[in-house]
Amino acid sequence: MEKLTVYKEPKYPCQKGYWTMRDDVSAAQVCAKLAPLEIAEEEKRLAILPCKIGSTIYEIDPPSPEHDVIKCRVNYIVIGVMGLSVDVEVIEGHGAGSVYSFEQSEFGDIVFLTLEEAEAALAKGGRVL
């Protein structure tokens, strides 16, 4: 899929970066690519996945006395009637070798894409189950 946009870095620290069209792309090309995605979103056929298969993700484990951060590998992602779930295998930490699932809603709550995010959430107390 051809990328039609580019991210522009802010010129000054007080500004935010933004996405814009590439200089060699017309608005008609962007609209032609965006329209089917908008239709799919309206029809509830568009899903933005929280991570990729094979990704490493991190879970906060509040029930454990040590309040560990558990390292997991994403084995597959399932989209079903009840929504999206991410099936993982624990590769480091409490329960190594275990296989289980997270719901998409748990990302940013007890499941994180980086170790730094998980540790920061843990330092704030994490989620108490």
- Same domain? For 28 and 77 the reply is no
Alpha-carbon Rg for the chain in angstroms:
19
Average pLDDT score over residue span 10-30: 93
Percent residues over pLDDT 70 in the chain: 92
How far is 36 from 19, CA to CA, in rounded Å?
19
Q: Does 72 reside within a domain?
A: yes
pLDDT-derived band at 128 (thresholds 50, 70, 90) equals very low
- Same domain? For 60 and 115 the reply is yes
Least confident range of 9-23, 34-48, 57-71, 83-97: 57-71
Q: Does 19 reside within a domain?
A: yes
Of the candidates 48, 54, 111, the residue with the CA atom closest to the CA atom of residue 79: 48
- Same domain? For 70 and 30 the reply is no
Number of domains observed in the structure of the chain: 2
Pairing label, strands 56-61, 18-21: unpaired
- Same domain? For 36 and 63 the reply is no
Q: Does 105 reside within a domain?
A: yes
Q: Does 79 reside within a domain?
A: yes
- Same domain? For 60 and 119 the reply is yes
Residue with the larger pLDDT of the pair 56 and 67: 56
Q: Does 50 reside within a domain?
A: no
Predicted TM-score of the model (pTM): 0.76
pLDDT-derived band at 129 (thresholds 50, 70, 90) equals very low
Q: 59-116 pLDDT, tens per residue? A: 998 666 666 899 999 999 999 888 899 999 999 988 899 999 999 999 999 999 999 9
Could you tell me which residues come within 8 angstroms of residue 83 by beta carbon, excluding any fewer than 6 positions away? 103, 104, 105
- Same domain? For 61 and 115 the reply is yes
Q: Does 23 reside within a domain?
A: yes
Least confident range of 33-42, 48-57, 60-69, 88-97: 60-69
Residue 37 belongs to what domain range?
Answer: 5-42
Could you tell me which residues come within 8 angstroms of residue 34 by beta carbon, excluding any fewer than 6 positions away? none
